[in-house]
Amino acid sequence: MTTKNRLFAWAVLAAGLSGAVGLRPAVANEELEKMSQDPKQWVMPAGNYANWRFTELKQITPENAHRLHPVWTFSTGVLRGHEGGPLVVGDMMYVHTPFPNKVFALDLNHDGRIVWAYEPKQDPNVIPVMCCDTVNRGVAYGDGKIFLHQADTTLVALDAKTGKVIWSVKDDDPAKGATGTSAPLVVKDKVLVGVSGGEFGVQGHVTAYNIKDGSMAWRAYSEGPDDQLLFDPEKTTVMGKPVGKDSSLKTWEGDQWKIGGGTTWGWISYDPKLNLVYYGSGNPSTWNPTQRPGDNKWSMTVFARDPDTGVAKWVYQMTPHDEWDYDGINEMILADVKVHGQQRHALVHFDRNGFAYVLDRATGELLEANKFDPAVNWATKVDLTTGRPEVVPQYSTDHNGADHNTKGICPAALGSKDEQPAAFSPVTGLFYVPTNHVCMDYEPYKVTYTAGQPYVGATLSMYPPPGENNLGNFIAYDVNEGKIVWSDPEPFSVWSGALVTATGVAFYGTLDGYLKAVDVKNGKLLYKFKTPSGIIGNVNAYEHNGKEYIAVLSGVGGWAGIGMAAGLTNDTDGLGAVGAYKSLSNYTQLGGVLTVFSVE
C-alpha cells in the first residue's frame, strides 16, 4: 500500500469511528463560532459560517436609510481590483488589498489609525499568471491570528495584535500557474484554503492546515484517483448513490486529470451540526471541450467534506463536460427554507451557469434547480432525477467532438453570477443576488499544455442579451417558488457582494462606483452614494461604541473591470470581457478606498 493510500485508509477509518462513537478532535477555536453570533462584529468573510451576509443590527432601517452618509474613509494605496471586505474583531478592523496583498489593522477607537501594516515580499512574476486581475477576497480570523492567502499561494498567519508573522506555508507553485486569490476559512482547529489557476491547467484542491503551526492536516483534489480526492467509493455519494471506484478517472481521457483544472478559488461554508464544509470547484482545463472528452469529474462540483479528515460525504456536478467556463465556485448558502412548501435544511447555490440549485445539505439530494436570469438559454432545465442539465444543441461549443464557433450563448463565461456573494434574510426567507446579464460568442481552438503558460483554448466576445442594454441586475429570489420576486436593472454587472439587514434593507455596490441601499420588499432605492471607484468588494456591517456602520471597499477591477485594471483595449482581451465593459472608464477610475457609512 502506498503512503497516500495508507493515509486515505486511515482518514476513512477515522471518519467512520468518529461517526460511530461521537469522537471529534479537540476544538481549538470554539470562540470563533461564538464571536460570529455577535452582530457587533464581522469576524468571518461572510459574517457567519452559513454564508448569509446578514446582520441583526437594527439602527439602519428603510425609514432612515436616506440619512446614510460617509463618516470616514481609508485609502489602501493599491490601484487594482478590490474584492472581498474587511473584518471587524473587537475594536480592530482588518483591511486587505489585491497584489501585493497588504493587510492593515485599523483602530476603530482612533478614527481608523493604522496599528500595524503587513506587506509580503512576493515575486512580481506571479502577476502574469493571475487570471482576471490580481484580486484577493479577504482574510480570516481565528485563535488570535489573521490568515492571509497571498498571490504566490503562501498562507501566512499573522499575530492579530502586532502583525508579526507566526508561521507561513507555501500551498502550491506559481511557476506552474497556481495562485492564491480566495479568502481562507477557519473551522475548529484548522484553516482551509483553495487554489486558483484553472486557466493554467492546475489540478484544483482544497487544503486544511493546523492553525497552531501551519502543518498540513489534509489535502483533497478535485479530480484524480480516489486517494487524492479523499473519496470512499462506497460511502461518498452522488445523487444518493455511491460514486464507485475511480469515479473521476473514468471521465477523463488518459492522464488529462493531472492538468484538469477544477480549481477552488471561491467561498467555503460550514455546518457545525453536521460537521461538514461545503465549496465548489471550477472549470475543467482547457476551455476547449473537444480536447477533453467525458464528464470531467469532479470539476464544476459541489463538495461536502468532513473538516477533520477531508473525506467527502457527497458530491454533485452541476455542469458535466463544461463547454462555456461556468465555474462552480460561487458560495454555498446554508439556509432552512421552504422547497415545494416543505421546510428543508438546504444548501442554496446560485451558479455561474444561471441555475439556482437547492440541495439537501446532509445528503446532497437535488431538490430544485431553476433559472435566476430569464436570458439563460444554453440549457432548458435541469433534470431533478439525473441531476444533468438538458443542453440546447444550438449553444453547444462541442459538436460531436469538433470545435464549433457558437454565437448568442447566455450567460457568458462571466456567468449569471460570478464569485460576488448573495445574501440571505431569515426574516423574509428570500435571497438577494447580484447578477450579470451578459451573453457571448465562443470560439474554441486547439491549445497545447505548457506548465506556467495559459491553457485556455477559446476566444470570447461578450455583450448584453438581444434587445437589451443593461449588463446586470440586483434581484430578490424565492427558492420555494423558483422565481425572481423583483429585479433592479443596472447598466453594468453587479459585481459586489450583497448585505441584508434584519430591518429590511439590502445593500450592494455597482461597477460605476455607487453604494446602494434598497427596500427588501420591492427593491425601491432608499439611498445611493458614489464612492471614489467602482465597487467589486462586499458590503458588511458592524457596531462600535453603540453606533451601526456599513463598510465597503471600492476599487474597480476583477474580470468585468480587467480592461481598466490592466490597461487592456481589444474587445476580446480579458477573456472577452473588455468589449462588453469598454464604456466603464467613462464613469469611474482606479483606486482602492474603504468607505464607512452611518445614519448619524
Three-class DSSP labels, 64-85:
CHHHCEEEEEEECCCCCCCCCC
Distance of alpha carbon 496 from alpha carbon 510, whole angstroms: 7
- The secondary structure of 193-253 as a DSSP string is E--B-GGGT---EEEEEETTT--EEEEEESSSSHHHHT--TTTSEETTEE--TTTTGGGSS
Residue 385: strand, helix, or coil: coil
| Alpha-carbon distances, residue 589 vs 70, 511, 512, 564 (angstroms) | 19, 10, 9, 8
Residue 111: strand, helix, or coil: coil
360 is catalytic: no
Name the catalytic one among 325, 327, 398, 488: 325
CB neighbour list of residue 25: distance below 8 Å, 6 or more residues apart = 188, 189, 308
Sheet strand arrangement including 269-271: 241-242, 237-238, 312-317, 301-305, 276-280, 269-271
How many CA atoms lie less than 13 Å away from 44 in the CB half-sphere?
28
C-alpha cell at 541: 456591517
Distance of alpha carbon 402 from alpha carbon 147, whole angstroms: 45
Distance of alpha carbon 600 from alpha carbon 598, whole angstroms: 6
Three-class DSSP labels, 490-516:
ECCCCCCECEEECCCEEEEECCCCEEE
C-alpha cell at 20: 460511530
Distance of alpha carbon 523 from alpha carbon 530, whole angstroms: 19
Task: Give the angle subtended at the CA of 140 by the CAs of 137 and 144, to the nearest 5°.
Answer: 155
CB 203 within 8 A of CB 191: no
Distance of alpha carbon 585 from alpha carbon 573, whole angstroms: 16
Say how many C-beta atoms besides its own lie within 10 A of residue 125's C-beta.
11
Residue 9: strand, helix, or coil: helix
Main-chain dihedrals φ then ψ at residue 11, nearest 5 degrees: -65, -40
Residue 135: strand, helix, or coil: coil
Distance of alpha carbon 63 from alpha carbon 507, whole angstroms: 15
Distance of alpha carbon 32 from alpha carbon 87, whole angstroms: 13
Hey, which residues are catalytic here? 325
